[in-house]
Amino acid sequence: MNAKRLTTPKEKVQQLQEKLGHAAKENKKRKFHALYDKVHRWDVLCEAWNRVRANKGAAGINAIALADIEREGEVSFLRDLQRNLQEGTYRPDPVRRHYIPKKDGKQRPLGIPTVRDRVVQMATKLMMEPIFEADFQETSFGFRPERGAKGALERIRKACNRKGNWVVDVDIQGYFDNINQGKLMKLVQMRINDRRILKLIRKWLQAGVMEEGTLRRSDLGTPQGGVISPLLANIYLNYFDQMWEKHGKGVGELTRYADDMVVVCKTKKEADHAYKLICTIMERLELTLHPTKTRIVGLWTGEEGFDFLGMHHRKTKAETSQGVVYYTTQQWLTTKAEERIREVVKGRLSPPSMRSRTFEEHVEWLNPKIQGWKNYYYTNYSQRKLAKLNWYILQRLTRWYAKKRQRRRWMGSFQEVKYMAKQIGLKTLL
């Protein structure tokens, strides 16, 4: 007889998630009481650790990095964590504040939890996600399994082509920092009634932020950067999606990606009505719309467009083979996205320290990036912009090569670099 094949932690967790998801779909009013014991199950903690490790990420305030845990022993780390959770002695650390510079000169604050806290958050997310997935709407695409930005962009393109000539482009001011924690917990409790899980979530929300040696706590917001934060943010805005489904469906078609959303309407009157309705629902959630970034855009003349998820959307004239003129929605990468790609390429090839690297090393580093950009930004209407970026990448490689060879004029090396790039297999955006 064949011995029964032992399933991996990943397979066991998937099986458990399927059961939870099925139970949540079967009964939309069901509350889940016994989840905490599943969070500290060995297979769940192992899968949570594998995912946290795959996401890489920096150390939290205790300065313990992923590599330190791997060196000291993953099993003993997970056993300690399991014991803490079972005995109820687990306490999260404050998150470490880290700032990412934004294009407008401002800085985006990120909260980096410790690796230990990330593993517990991941284990909790693995158990909560399938339950809330049963309630999430078709309009929502961000930070959800098997859904993503491409799906959101396609939904918008189709909505605009179905006589969607007016768009409400919505921007929520400081969304992650302004989530009302009390209201968020009430929305979580609509599905989860396990006191220990609710206590865990409250602890993460109230753990505070460590910045320059000072601990700051707030009754508002969920720290950006936490593993559980995107799920909590989706739970909070799912209320908006449900209200829209109830009151706004006939007014316009909503597409939401995390806190970015657009509503596509057929007329200016509907767009005005949609804007008022959005404001009303946001008031209930105690959220504020950005006064200048939230706007109503008229697409029908082709003079105006809007940016969403790195793509610019605009209606332009097209002709059928019979010469019939019609308007279609075109999408191409935004100016911001172009600038970002240029910055990444320049950041790699420009520093003097990079002159010691080989041509092959640079190509090896660039290729996955180029492939990723192509997969995301390529459309029939992006080709001109992508061709310019291809030229920019070759130009930057040529400048790097000329400096490495100590040549004064870089243009003289262009054909040589172009040939080498082809030989070595540099990918292109087209």
pLDDT in tens, 215-262: 888 788 887 788 999 999 999 999 999 999 999 999 999 999 999 999
**What is the rounded distance in angstroms from the CA atom of residue 220 to the CA atom of residue 119?**
24
pLDDT tens track for 375-411: 999 999 999 999 999 999 999 999 999 999 999 899 9
> Percentage of the chain surpassing pLDDT 70?
98
**pLDDT exceeds 60 at position 336:** yes
Check: CB of residue 130 under 8 Å from CB of residue 230.
no
Tokens of 9: 């932690």
Q: Return all residues near 210 (Cβ < 8 A) that are at least 6 apart.
A: 61, 94, 95, 96, 97, 216
| Distance of alpha carbon 422 from the chain centroid | 34
- What Å distances lie between residue 180 and 110, 294, 410, CA to CA? 18, 21, 56
Is the CB of residue 238 less than 8 Å from the CB of residue 256?
A: no
- Give backbone dihedrals phi and psi of 326, rounded to 5 degrees, phi first: -145, 165
Assess contact for 328 and 161: CB atoms under 8 A: yes
pTM: predicted TM-score of the whole model, two decimal places = 0.91
Question: Does the pLDDT of residue 61 top 60, yes or no?
Answer: yes
The Cα–Cα gap between 43 and 15 comes to 11
Average the pLDDT over 307-326 and give the result.
Answer: 89
| Secondary structure tally for the chain: helices H, strands E | 16, 11
Q: Which residue has the tokens 């990606």?
A: 257
